Structure 1
């Protein structure tokens, strides 16, 4: 049994989370939505089973695709997490964790939109979404 607890939250502290154990996977996403939502060249996420994450605080939700829901703090606007309707998972942004360096991405999605100045071939790459 893995009893690691990883905490984090939004920039202003109005939203908090506690993730138990290890993530199912850790990734970088270069899709245009992640780029725009994060205001960066990519989004970086630790994906946990939904039942392994406790959350507190008020959030707003934006339906970013047919399946995708992005949740954000209405006070500071920070990305809190994202989820897909058909998956019992929560994608927590790496930058929202209280500690740094605890998870390393093992694959990248939507590399067709990756900035050319970012290194290629560092981890498994998918041109678009990963196979299910």
Structure 2
């Protein structure tokens, strides 16, 4: 396993999402006429932010809140043991923001979770908040479940599933079109 790349870099999306999403079935218009399959750049979701002001989120008890003025750009689902144990789910979905663009009402409590990452959580309710990867300190991975669901966050589709070699054996991963890696980039 190579630790030379962050989870954002391995999917080729260190700054802006560029993955192509293709609909193989095409679309039906209002006259029920089948059209050709559609290929859209994943970045097209950003065009819906004509009146975008900020993304916000919080922990479960709302003691910790955050905002960022930049729309999220990359969603990565991590299946490593640490992410599964922290989330209590088959994987942890992380969304990437520039680290210096997040404003916190209260700083989350940080702890060193491995030799490659530092995580944070709310000291009151225990909600997982962030992950900071040593290899890419310019980015912050925010737990997707902490985003306020106001319909304006523009969460992109998953770009990649990583650490599938540690995936829970009982979990069947559906084909969502995302890249798949056994580790960081293999």
TM range (shorter): 0.7 to 0.9
Structure 2 unaligned residues grouped into runs of 5+: 1-48
Report the RMSD for the aligned CA atoms in angstroms.
2.0
Question: Structure 1 runs of 4+ off > 2 angstroms?
Answer: 113-116
Q: Is the aligned partner of 1:93 residue 2:143?
A: yes
Aligned partners of 1:19, 1:36: CA distance in 2, in Å?
A: 27
Aligned to 1:128: 183
Aligned partners of 2:65, 2:176: CA distance in 1, in Å?
A: 34
Deviation at 1:122, TM superposition (A): 2.7
Aligned partners of 1:108, 1:81: CA distance in 2, in Å?
A: 18
Which of structures 1 and 2 has the bigger CA Rg?
A: 2
* Structure 1 residues 100 and 9, CA gap change in structure 2 (3 angstroms): same
- Cα deviations across residues 9-39 of structure 1 (Å, max 9, x unaligned)? 1000111111222334211000000000000
* Structure 1 residues 127 and 4, CA gap change in structure 2 (3 angstroms): farther
Structure having the higher helix fraction is 2
Correspondences of 1:44-63 after superposition (within 5 Å):
44-63=93-112
TM-score w.r.t. structure 1 length? 0.87
* Structure 1 residues 121 and 18, CA gap change in structure 2 (3 angstroms): closer
Structure having the higher strand fraction is 1
TM-score w.r.t. structure 2 length? 0.63
Structure 1 unaligned residues grouped into runs of 5+: none
- Cα deviations across residues 42-92 of structure 1 (Å, max 9, x unaligned)? 000111111221112142211011231110001000011111234211101
Aligned to 1:105: 158
* Structure 1 residues 73 and 113, CA gap change in structure 2 (3 angstroms): same
Aligned partners of 2:150, 2:79: CA distance in 1, in Å?
A: 21
Deviation at 1:121, TM superposition (A): 6.0
Aligned to 2:60: 11
Equivalenced residues, count: 130
